[in-house]
Each structure stands twice: as C-alpha cells, then as structure tokens.
Amino acid sequence: MSSRVAVVLGTRPEMIKLAPVIRRLGERALVVHTGQHFDANMSQAFLDQLHIGRPHLHLEVGGSTRGAQIGRATEAIEQFLLQEQPAAVVVQGDTNSGLAGALAANATGTPLVHLEAGLRSYDRAMPEEHNRVLIDALSDLCLAPHSSNADVLQREGIPSDRIRVTGSTLLDSLAMIMPTAVERAALVAEHNVQPAQFVLATIHRAENADNADNLRAILSELVGLPVPVVLPLHPRTRKRADEFGLHPLLDQLSVCEPMGYREFIGLASEAAVIVSDSGGVQEEATIVKRPVLIVRNSTERPEILGTFAHLVAPGPTIGARARELLAGGAALRAELQALPYPYGHNATAAVVAAIDELSG
C-alpha cells in the first residue's frame, strides 16, 4: 500500500499551517495547489517562503465563483487521487479548496484527515462555516487544535474515535519563518513607522469588503486613529474600494500590496494593535503577543476572547476599542506576553502521527 499522502491547499492560511506537515512528510507528500489564491503575492510567494516546493498538481480555480471553484477543483483532485492512489488526503481549515479535497477523497474512498477541525463561528452567513461543517462530517480523522473544538465535534455527533486533539501547527510554522529582530527593525523602517506605535490592519471577508457601508465605516475608523495604519490591501478589497469610491480614505492610510508571510508576521510582532477579519490572524496574535480587534459578528476562536482578541462591529466601536488598547501600551504587551499559547506544542509531530495511524 502507498505511504504517500495528498495534501490539498490553495490559500495563504492553508499554506502556512500545512507547510510544517509537508516538510515532515518529505517525499511522501503529494502537494495539490488549487490556485484559489491566484495573485502571485498571495500564493507563490508563500510557497517559496515556506519551502513547500513545486506542487505535484497546480490548478487555476481562483477568480471564479464559489461553486465553480469547488466543482472544478473536486473533479481535478478526484482524477489525481485515482491516478496516484495515496494512502490519505489531508485538508486544512474552512476553504473552498479544503471542501473540494474532502469531496474528492470521499468520492474515491480515500481516507480523509482534517486539520483545524471543530472550529465554529455559528454564523451561517459565512461560506467558511458551511465548508468546515461539511469537511468535518466527511473526515475520517478530525484533528482539533483545542479541547473545546473536540467538544464541539462530539456535540455534533462525531464519534470520539474520529477525533484527536493535536494542537495547531502554526507555532511550528512561525518557528520556521519568523524574521530576526534585525529584520523586523528593517521592516518597520521600510514602512516608515515606529515599533509599537502603529496599527496593522487586514480586511478581506465578504461581509466587510463587499458591503459599501461596512467598508467605508472600517476605513473611516482606521483613518481616525492617532497612530499610522499599515494596510496590506487584499485584491478583493482593492477592487471593492474602487467600485465604492473609497480611495480618499485609502489615501490617508499606509496602503501597500499584499505582502509575503515573513514580512507580515514580522510587522505583526512589532505593531501596537492588529485590526483584522481574518481567522488566521487571530491565532497569529497569540504567538506574537499582540491584541487583535476582530471585525466580525462572531469568532471561531472564542477561547481567546477577552485576552488576545476582541470582537468589534464595523463603525465607532473599532476606533474606541483601538484607542483603549493603544493606551494600554507596554503594560498591555507585557500582560499578553505572559499568557501561554493556547493551542499546544509539537503539533506537527502529533498531526503526522495521526495521519500515519489512519493511512498505515
């Protein structure tokens, strides 16, 4: 029986969290890149920085509708699995790429492993919520980053023998890629800001980027902050800002192109506050020990609310809470520094052991 493992990815969060797994699997890993993130700065740059290497199958489903992405990727991955006959398929998170990999595994009878299982926002307006529920239901092994996620899976009726609490591989990934103190200082200088005296923001989710009122409110609050705001602008958000006539607001922020992961995580570790609607950034904040304002109605990581993370709605709450956190200064950073990483250690070894358990 083959010992090879098909690892399906297509977005930045998947690349980041699957990179340590791919490296540990070595030549056993068959990397499938769906191309869901098709911009070079959002895709190939991350593959290069994370030393993932050239994918064995590289699709180009990015830029199409959700249904088209899932359908096209599922069909192509199914054919790849039939050809390569791997011992297992590994997917991560809540993306269209992950769901396509899960459906293809199910269609071919290939054992399926889901990293980051059991996360729930309970917001049915989010496509990601539907993706993660479906992937968990299809998975032969659900690898939960936290015990609370395992509890969720059990409440939903998934048998305990299909659940493992492995922790998150993000800590291992950042250990591979975190810039040195000298490199971080250079990054800060490059963006014309001072350490711990700027805000780093990312906005890309549909409920924010595709809603003119929400996007205007978010950008207005960022503009009103008393410190510079560095905003790597997601292609989706840039397109919507053009359509909504919001460039006068963007012009008052330090807008830049989407950046490589080393640069982003380096800046995040030097920021005073992070403002984001990203799921991954919430967890990254627990490693770089910085407070993050989550511009969403709910979070799939409730275990960090009130410590590293704070939910805010688009509008004045962003500015008010950001000012409170900025006022916390060095004392707040010291408080967060003392908090342990909530998602375990040595997760990559636990994940690969679980994969081997299923595929062996």
Q: Which candidate in 33, 114, 146, 204 is catalytic? A: 204
Helix 12-25 × helix 170-177 angle, to 10° = 90
3-state secondary structure at position 139: coil
Q: Give the residues across from 89 on adjacent strands.
A: 6, 112
Please report, for residues 63, 103, 116, the alpha-carbon distance to residue 357 in angstroms, rounded to integers and kept in the order given: 37, 21, 18
d(CA 253, CA 95): 29
The DSSP annotation for 68-109 comes to HHHHHHHHHHHHHHHHH--SEEEEETT-HHHHHHHHHHHHHT
- Determine whether 204 is an active site residue: yes
d(CA 201, CA 232): 7
Residues 288, 269 contacting (CB under 8 angstroms): yes
Q: Give the residues across from 5 on adjacent strands.
A: 29, 88
Catalytic residues: 204
